[in-house]
């Protein structure tokens, strides 16, 4: 009986471990891992805290946004997002829809 329990226990452990292996993309990243990217966007037209709040609210409405923080003091917004779900173009459209414009830099 003890041998049977030992065998069942070993099979259970091996079965659990094989289910934990993650499948990988061709670049070696796990398939289910979000492709998070962090970008700093320079924005024209922010003048106050309400401008920051408007931009943050608009960007946060997009799917795949992990983090957003706007600052009117230096006219920037830092956005961390899942590149497989949304794009920088989508983020720029939201900003422009709210009445601001994105300053083009070498990063965007």
- The domain tally of the chain equals 1
For residues 99 and 44, what is the distance between their CA atoms, to the nearest angstrom? Answer: 9
Task: Answer whether residue 51 is part of any domain.
Answer: yes
pLDDT digits (tens, 9 = 90+) for 35-71: 899 999 999 999 999 999 999 999 999 999 999 999 9
| Backbone torsions φ then ψ of 99, nearest 5 degrees | 95, 10
Q: Which residue has the tokens 């009117």?
A: 72
**CATH code for the domain in which residue 69 is found:** 3.30.70.100
Task: Answer whether residue 64 is part of any domain.
Answer: yes
Task: Answer whether residue 4 is part of any domain.
Answer: no
pLDDT digits (tens, 9 = 90+) for 81-93: 999 999 999 999 9
Under a CB-based contact definition with an 8 Å cutoff, are residues 80 and 38 in contact? yes
Structural domain for 70, as ranges? 34-108
Residue 14 structure tokens: 């091996």
Task: Answer whether residue 107 is part of any domain.
Answer: yes
Task: Answer whether residue 23 is part of any domain.
Answer: no
Under a CB-based contact definition with an 8 Å cutoff, are residues 104 and 74 in contact? no
For residues 51 and 99, what is the distance between their CA atoms, to the nearest angstrom? Answer: 10
Under a CB-based contact definition with an 8 Å cutoff, are residues 55 and 92 in contact? no
């Amino acid at each position: 009986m003890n041998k049977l329990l030992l065998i069942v226990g070993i099979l259970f452990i091996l079965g659990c471990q094989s289910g934990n292996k993650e499948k990988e993309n061709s670049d070696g990243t796990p398939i289910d891992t979000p492709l998070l990217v962090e970008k700093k966007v320079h924005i024209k037209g922010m003048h106050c805290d309400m401008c920051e709040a408007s931009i943050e609210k608009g960007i946060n409405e997009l799917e795949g946004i992990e983090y957003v923080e706007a600052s009117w003091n230096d006219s920037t917004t830092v956005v961390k997002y899942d590149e497989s779900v949304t794009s920088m173009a989508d983020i720029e459209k939201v900003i422009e829809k709210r009445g601001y414009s994105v300053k083009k830099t070498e990063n965007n």
